[in-house]
Amino acid sequence: MNFFKDKLIIILSISFFIFIFFSPLSLANYQKSELLISPTALKEKLELDNNKLKIIDVRSSLNYLLAHIPGAVNLQPANFSNDKAWVSGLIAEPQNFNFVVAKKGIHNDSEIIIYADQNQVWPTRLWFIFKLYGKNKVRILKGGLKAWKEEDFALERMSFRPQKGDFVVNKVNNDLLINTDTIAENLNNKDFLIVDTRPKAEFLGQNTTAKAQRQGRIPNSVHLDWQEFLDQNNNFKSIAVIKEILAAKGINKNKETIVFLSREGVEASFSFFTLKLLGYNNLKLYDDSWLGWSQRKDLPIQ
């Protein structure tokens, strides 16, 4: 009898090990797992009544009002985008970002958690902007609100109105960004890798967004649709699969610089974040992205 009992314990232990280290929601796979937080860990932080904890919901205002994580505030993509720039959708200027973020009760010493339903594009975009503007205590809720609901954790309705915060951009990490001229100067540099994360039809010049002046791609760029990092449930694929995808594209940590672009820089932020999870430090975001490159008639395209 003890033999079968011991055998059952071993089987259960192995099953638990497999769940922890290979589950799509596990944080153990990622070299930079501190960039994510699980629903359970967030719930525990909420129970501690930590005044420094600030949760940001980047879904639509309607979805936010219907149900959100307790204490979360709502920020719309328009709040942290600069639609008046020469390329639409660029990152908001520091003074504008200060205003909207402080209005939501955020301070410079706040610990920030960002989430959407499940798609992590806008949460990672906001994460990148916070990092650009010197904020280090920023994480993404793993699995988004969907994962929170699956745990049957509490939800709130209607708007949460915090007292105004004092968040101010004191530092701009410009080394996270790259400009058009620098890319143009490195088109033939083998240690300088340009990764285009748009849909394949746009990369091949078969299709384009209405805002782009020209069709095609930056010469010598490689294609990696940002959605390739996600499984059918919009969760990150396993670390092993992501590494295989990167290897097939020649993307590795030995490159001096890896540049991400998309249509407007938004999806490129997601790809940037994904490689940060894997411990990459040689990353740059091209915020002008394809819209910016296509408008410069003096620049080559394929």
Provide the pLDDT confidence category of residue 13 given band limits of 50, 70 and 90: very low
Res. 86 pLDDT band, cuts 50 70 90: confident
96 neighbors 82 (Cβ within 8 angstroms): yes
Question: What are the structural domains, with CATH classification, of the chain?
Answer: 26-150 (3.40.250.10), 177-295 (3.40.250.10)
Half-sphere exposure for 31 (CA within 13 Å, toward CB): 12
pTM for the complete prediction? Answer: 0.88
What 8-state DSSP symbol labels residue 163? Answer: P
- Which pLDDT value is given to residue 218? 97
Structural tokens at position 240:
């092993």
- Of 286, 287, 295, which is closest to residue 214 (Cα–Cα)? 295
- Looking at every residue in the chain, the average pLDDT score rounds to 88
Q: What is the pLDDT of residues 148-188, one digit of tens each?
A: 999 999 999 988 888 999 999 999 999 999 999 999 999 99
Residue 235: helix, strand or coil by DSSP? coil
Q: What is the pLDDT of residue 6?
A: 52
Compute the distance between CA of residue 74 and CA of residue 83 in angstroms, rounded to an integer: 19
Exposure class string for 63-91: b at 16+ Cβ within 10 A, else e: ebeeebbeebbbbebebbbbeeeebebbb
